[in-house]
């Protein structure tokens, strides 16, 4: 089984190996690696911002987005530091669900504003992020520790997991996770008969002015595609999402509707909109085939932990929604 119901035991049981120092383009690191055991060998990791020399199996890892947080936890490494989201001082719920105490992960600013001093104070041996969020900070981060950037976020979570696995020296484990995910996604799809005949809408409330309908080019879109679901026409897009106003909420059409809310403003907006007549007129709502989902699980994980938890939800909901 992939991450999800089994995440707590697998993360808690994983042990990070020897920490080592590494530097971008460091000839000293390369020289020191000669004749060293395999766990201390230096490798060149190609990524969105260039190439980085990483030695051994880093264990003092700092992550600067929720996707990277998800990936390292799934690979058995508890980071020493992680940013918080811009709407909460707490780490996403998938951390605790994985059996990791959030208090063990130091705060290093927010996704929008990472705290470089706090990062440096942790003396990391690896920093993971992506060019979408922090392209302008790469040079500063690389002066602190070897830094590896994914090119994109969301839909590319599987590629990003493999990149994190390479940086951590856990490539085989990363591939195993993806293989397990694909197998379980197919199993969950089978619970819905022929999922390709079921169109699924995914909505997310941000505030009182905007609702996001998530497309095929998003993390949740990629998970639903692996399960085999179809998407309504408006959401058949390579874009991450399409934004609509509350007055256009009926655009969330389809056979099934899953919706979440980001932060306090999103929760307030969801409460207001879902109490109105336009919401009630959506076919999936009228037929009791709409479900409020946990925002952390469906929209913040952006990795194998989040994907596994989405599969958990879909499996649990199948008796209610299938058919």
Of the ranges 15-19, 131-135, 213-217, 247-251, which one carries the lowest mean pLDDT score?
Answer: 15-19
What pLDDT was estimated at residue 88? 87
> In the predicted model, is pLDDT for residue 136 greater than 90?
yes
Angle at 309 between CA 303 and CA 312, to 5 degrees: 145
Give the residue among 54, 33, 55 at the shortest CA–CA distance from 45.
54
Model confidence pLDDT, tens digit, residues 41-65 = 999 999 999 999 999 999 999 999 9
Domain boundaries, the chain: 7-180, 191-321
Categorize the per-residue pLDDT at 13 as very low, low, confident or very high, splitting at 50, 70 and 90.
very low
| pTM score | 0.85
What pLDDT was estimated at residue 4? 53
- 191-321 belongs to which CATH class? alpha beta
Categorize the per-residue pLDDT at 128 as very low, low, confident or very high, splitting at 50, 70 and 90.
very high
Q: Is-same-fold flag (7-180; 191-321)?
A: yes
Contacts of 135 (CB under 8 A, 6+ apart): 49, 149
Contacts of 288 (CB under 8 A, 6+ apart): none
CATH number among 3.60.130.10, 3.40.50.1980, 3.10.129.10, 1.25.40.10, domain 7-180: 3.40.50.1980
In angstroms, what CA-CA distances link 177 with 73, 171, 249? Answer: 12, 10, 36
Question: For residue 91, with 0-12 CB atoms within 10 Å meaning exposed, 13-18 middle and 19 or more buried, which class applies?
Answer: buried
> In the predicted model, is pLDDT for residue 132 greater than 50?
yes
Model confidence pLDDT, tens digit, residues 223-281 = 999 999 999 999 999 999 999 999 999 999 999 999 999 999 999 999 999 999 999 99
Residue listed under structure tokens 């195993």 = 176
What pLDDT was estimated at residue 28? 32
């Amino acid at each position: 089984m992939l991450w999800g119901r089994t995440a707590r035991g697998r993360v808690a049981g994983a042990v990070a190996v020897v920490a080592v120092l590494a530097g971008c383009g460091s000839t000293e690191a390369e020289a020191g690696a000669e004749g060293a055991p395999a766990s201390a060998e230096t490798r060149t990791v190609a990524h969105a911002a260039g190439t980085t020399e990483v030695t051994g199996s880093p264990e003092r890892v700092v992550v600067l987005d929720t996707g990277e947080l998800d990936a390292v936890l799934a690979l058995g490494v508890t980071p020493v530091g992680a940013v918080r989201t811009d709407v909460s001082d707490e780490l996403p719920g998938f951390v605790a669900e994985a059996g990791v105490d959030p208090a063990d992960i130091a705060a290093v600013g927010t996704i929008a504003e990472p705290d470089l001093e706090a990062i440096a104070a942790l003396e990391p041996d690896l920093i993971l992020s992506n060019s979408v969020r922090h392209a302008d900070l790469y040079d500063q981060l690389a002066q602190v520790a070897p830094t590896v950037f994914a090119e994109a976020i969301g839909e590319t979570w599987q590629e990003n997991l493999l990149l994190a696995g390479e940086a951590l020296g856990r490539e085989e484990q990363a591939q195993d996770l993806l293989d397990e995910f694909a197998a379980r996604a197919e199993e969950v799809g089978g619970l819905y008969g022929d999922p390709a005949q079921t169109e699924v809408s995914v909505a997310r409330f941000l505030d009182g002015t905007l609702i996001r309908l998530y497309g095929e080019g998003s993390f949740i879109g990629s998970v639903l595609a692996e399960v085999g679901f179809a998407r309504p026409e408006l959401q058949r897009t390579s874009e991450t999402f399409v934004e609509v106003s509350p007055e256009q909420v009926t655009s969330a059409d389809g056979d099934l509707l899953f919706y979440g809310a980001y932060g306090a403003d999103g929760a307030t907006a969801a409460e207001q909109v879902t109490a109105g007549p336009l919401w009630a007129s959506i076919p999936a709502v009228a037929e009791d085939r709409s479900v409020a989902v946990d925002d952390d699980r469906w929209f913040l994980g952006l990795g194998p932990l989040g994907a596994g938890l989405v599969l958990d939800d879909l499996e649990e909901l199948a008796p209610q929604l299938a058919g």
